[in-house]
């Protein structure tokens, strides 16, 4: 949903080609991280259906990767849209 919102804002603010590229890469990074996280969780569940500390750690690290990608995308969004949104608020 956040990616769709960012794309709508990008259309509204008419981002430049380079800004679009950065935005699309940020969104794709989050999707890739989430896909890898899901794949790793499924493989871990297949190999270790019960509770195991190493399985838990692997899942936690994969989830941390998604969190880092999401935070990076948030920073990109703040850099791209922050000044524009503030400009709308304080006109």
Active site residues: 34
- Cα dist from 49 to 36, 52, 54, whole Å: 19, 9, 12
Q: Which long-range contacts (CB under 8 A, 24 or more apart) does 12-15 make?
A: 13/81, 13/84, 15/80
């Amino acid at each position: 949903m956040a990616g769709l919102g960012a794309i709508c804002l990008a259309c509204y603010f008419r981002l430049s080609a380079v800004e679009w590229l950065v935005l699309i890469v940020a969104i794709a990074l989050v999707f890739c991280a989430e896909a890898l996280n899901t794949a790793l969780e499924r493989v871990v569940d297949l190999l270790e259906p019960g509770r195991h500390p190493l399985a838990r750690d692997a899942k936690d690290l994969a989830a941390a990767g998604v969190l880092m990608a999401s935070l990076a995308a948030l920073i990109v969004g703040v850099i791209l849209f922050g000044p524009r949104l503030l400009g709308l608020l304080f006109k």
